[in-house]
Amino acid sequence: MDGVADIDAVRRPDGARSRLGTTFCMEYGEVVVKQCSSRRMVCLSQRILPRLLPVAGLTLAVSLPGWAATGPSVGADPLPLDTTAPPSAASADGAPSSDTPWFNQDLTLIGSKDISFGPRPSDDIYLEYEYYGRKGPYELYGYIDAPKVLGIGNSHDSGEWDKGSPVFMEHEPRISIDELTGHSLAFGPFMEFYLAFDWIYDMGHTKVDRANTLYSGFGTDIKTGTPVILSANLYARRQWENYGAANENSWDGYRAQLKYILPLKHFDNGASLTYIGFTNHDFGSDLHDQAGPSRTANATVATNVILYNYKHVRLMTAGRYFHNGGQWKDGTELNFGDGNFNARSTGWGYYFGIGYQF
């Protein structure tokens, strides 16, 4: 089999591949959603205009730790999440007033199990700092994770305390082309267009423990005529470090990303229940040709989140389905020096998180 360095990287917690980040916020009729998923998480951001959602007069924000990059392949854009803001803070047309903060932050402790961004599923408990907001044409979203922060995880996971990656981060800005040019490019169901970027960095202790990936392309918000909020991004991938894989330092493949959100329930006490989903499909990679049958040209990660939000506190649970996660071929017989085993890169992984927004 090809690429031992590649394999050594997966013996770590595949940090870049175990995170999932998602934030959803409705601020007085305006919705901004960010979902992230990179190899550790899948990330995405979108701003939905007030007319899209038939629910107004509430502020709701949810954050799923970067457990959503490739969510590694997988995934995860928010606005203020302060549900205590009075309705008077909104203007007559439903938009936030100038008193509404545009930049928000939260801290979340996340537990994950059976995360298949590598051939051996990992379990982890990690801490995530997340930020998000929109100002003018600029949408900001990002997070910084401290893997295995409590020293808890399985043998396929590692962090700062056991010579693994001390930090995993993802930053996903989008820039509205409509607002930059001063002209609406909307047509049909396509409401707004963006320049979209997603930078993922895993700070490993050595080169084979490190990943540095930039996705760049275009995005759009899509009107569905239903309560479902929908957005899409299409990226080209520039790969620098990739845990020693054969596709390092090249333009390699593409990512199609679809994000969908459905408000489920708004409670009398101001709490909200929301479904958040996003799918990342990576395709067109040369890794299979370069590294052999243990790697694939494509990978898909689909994330499904249920988020309960009350004032500053968020509770979240997620189920994520991996198909050849991290571009590892499911069922392939591998040997990393500790005996033969069959890769498990297809199947379900799970997350639970509790966070506080400040």
Amino acid of residue 92:
A
Per-residue pLDDT tens for 235-280?
A: 999 999 998 899 999 999 999 999 999 999 999 999 999 999 999 9
Rounded to whole angstroms, the Cα distance separating 126 from 215 reads 24
Q: Is 53 exposed, middle or buried (0-12, 13-18, 19+ CB in 10 A)?
A: middle
pLDDT score of 153: 63
Sheet holding 20-27, edge to edge: 44-48, 30-37, 20-27, 59-67
pLDDT score of 19: 54
Q: Do 352 and 111 contact (CB within 8 A), yes or no?
A: yes
pLDDT score of 286: 95
Q: Do 161 and 148 contact (CB within 8 A), yes or no?
A: yes
Q: Percent of the chain, pLDDT > 70?
A: 69
Rounded to whole angstroms, the Cα distance separating 33 from 16 reads 22
300 closest CA partner among 255, 336, 239: 255
pLDDT score of 118: 84
pLDDT score of 70: 36
pLDDT score of 180: 95
pLDDT score of 93: 40
User: Tokens 């963006």 appear where?
Assistant: 194
Per-residue pLDDT tens for 17-60?
A: 445 554 443 333 333 333 333 333 333 333 333 333 333 333 33
pLDDT score of 147: 86
Q: Do 263 and 52 contact (CB within 8 A), yes or no?
A: no
pLDDT score of 263: 96
Fold of 4-357: Outer membrane phospholipase (ompla); Chain C (2.40.230)
Q: Do 216 and 173 contact (CB within 8 A), yes or no?
A: no
Average pLDDT, the chain: 76
pLDDT score of 218: 98
Q: Where are the domains of the chain?
A: 4-357
pLDDT score of 156: 60
What are 227's two structure tokens? 């309560």
Low-confidence spans in the chain with pLDDT less than 70: 1-100, 153-163
